[in-house]
């Protein structure tokens, strides 16, 4: 009943049915494991990932050799940040327990694709397709792996035991810090340059201004010296072409 309700898209009703099945005999071995697996899938459909992991872990505890319980736990752990390695371990165990089943290989491929290991993802999807040629998930994701469609995050490795939101915040904080450091370095460089070259530039500017004033005053003095003696009233002498003084005789004077 729980599986049928999950198939109809009724996770809440499926969860209630799985709970009733478990409550009838929680120690019923394989039957209880099946109920916990269905409860885990229903929790996952409802977005209650932590509860989905807890139910899947209980299924594995009840049937540690069940490949389907390992597969369910691996799929549930995949949705929990920082638990990629645990998910990969459970998927590998499921594939080892049931090598003829395609779904464990598909999960191995999905986890490899998530990390950007395209070669491993292609290998896993091909293993799944050898077991079930028309497996839709394996075919679609094999194409994505060949196209390198899923780009891994540069600031986060799924294998790290940390939430990617934390590494994202750390990356943004580092970017802000690096911009501030660059601004401070630029200001410090300008201050050092001003301290090193400022006095020399001021002195050079002052020397250039006083030299110009001296040049102008010297030119005025030289002009006064080169102008010759001032003419006195009644002095009719003039300078000739060669700089010699020529006496101008009055018209009424006789030789």
Q: What percent of the chain has pLDDT over 90?
A: 39
> Could you tell me which residue, 177 or 138, shows the higher pLDDT?
138
For the segment 214-233, the average pLDDT, to the nearest whole number, is 54
Pick from 79, 78, 36: which is nearest to 57 by CA? 36
pLDDT at 243: 45
For the segment 72-93, the average pLDDT, to the nearest whole number, is 95
For the segment 105-134, the average pLDDT, to the nearest whole number, is 95
Q: Which helix (H) or strand (E) holds 202?
A: helix 164-226
pLDDT at 245: 47
pLDDT at 34: 85
- What does the block give as tokens for 82? 């920082």
Pick from 2-16, 29-43, 124-138, 171-185 the range whose average pLDDT is largest: 124-138
Pick from 66, 59, 121, 57: which is nearest to 97 by CA? 66
Region of 246 (left: φ > 0; alpha: ψ -120 to 50; beta: rest) is beta
For the segment 174-200, the average pLDDT, to the nearest whole number, is 75
pLDDT at 32: 75
Beta bridge partners of 64: none
pLDDT at 93: 97
Distance CA 155, CA 229 (A): 91
Confidence class of residue 18 from pLDDT cuts 50, 70 and 90? Answer: confident
Taking CA atoms, 186 is separated from 183, 193, 201, in Å, by 5, 11, 21
Give the DSSP per-residue string, 224-254.
HHHT-PPPPTT---EE-TTS-EEPPPPTT--
pLDDT at 242: 47
> Could you tell me which residue, 60 or 217, shows the higher pLDDT?
60
For the segment 33-41, the average pLDDT, to the nearest whole number, is 89
Distance CA 134, CA 231 (A): 124
Specify the long-range contacts of residues 45-52, CB closer than 8 Å, at least 24 apart: 45/6, 45/11, 45/14, 46/11, 46/12, 46/15, 49/76, 49/79, 49/80, 50/80, 52/76, 52/79
Three-class DSSP category at 173: helix
| Range name among 58-67, 109-118, 193-202 with the lowest pLDDT average | 193-202
Give the DSSP per-residue string, 7-56.
HTT-HHHHHHHHHHHHHH-TT-THHHHHHHHHHHHHHHHTT-HHHHHHHH
Distance CA 179, CA 172 (A): 11
Confidence class of residue 79 from pLDDT cuts 50, 70 and 90? Answer: very high
- What does the block give as tokens for 81? 């940040």
pLDDT at 125: 97
pLDDT at 174: 58
Instruction: Provide Rg for the chain, Cα atoms.
Output: 48
The answer to whether the beta carbons of residues 129 and 139 sit under 8 Å apart is: yes
> Could you tell me which residue, 148 or 32, shows the higher pLDDT?
148
For the segment 70-82, the average pLDDT, to the nearest whole number, is 94
Q: Does the model's pTM come out above 0.75?
A: no
């Amino acid at each position: 009943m729980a599986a049928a309700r999950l198939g109809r898209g009724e996770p809440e009703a499926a969860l209630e049915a799985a709970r009733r099945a478990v409550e009838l005999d929680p120690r019923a071995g394989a039957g209880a494991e099946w109920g916990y697996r269905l409860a885990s899938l229903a929790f996952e459909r409802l977005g209650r990932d932590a509860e989905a992991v807890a139910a899947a872990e209980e299924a594995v505890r009840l049937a540690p050799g069940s490949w389907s319980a390992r597969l369910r736990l691996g799929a549930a752990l995949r949705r929990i940040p920082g638990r990629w390695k645990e998910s990969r371990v459970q998927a590998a165990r499921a594939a080892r327990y049931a090598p003829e089943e395609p779904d464990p290989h598909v999960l191995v491929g999905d986890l490899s694709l998530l990390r950007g290991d395209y070669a491993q993802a292609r290998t896993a999807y091909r293993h799944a397709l050898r077991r079930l040629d028309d497996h839709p998930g394996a075919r679609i994701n094999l194409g994505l792996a060949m196209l390198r469609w899923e780009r891994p995050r540069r600031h986060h490795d799924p294998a790290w035991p940390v939430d990617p939101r934390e590494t994202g915040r750390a990356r943004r904080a580092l970017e802000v810090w690096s911009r501030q450091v660059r601004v401070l370095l630029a200001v410090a460089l300008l201050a050092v340059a001003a301290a090193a070259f400022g006095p020399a530039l001021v002195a050079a500017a002052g020397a250039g201004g006083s030299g110009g004033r001296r040049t102008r005053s010297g030119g005025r003095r030289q002009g006064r010296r080169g102008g010759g003696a001032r003419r006195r009233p009644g002095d009719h002498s003039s300078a000739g072409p060669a700089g010699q003084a020529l006496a101008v005789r009055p018209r009424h004077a006789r030789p």
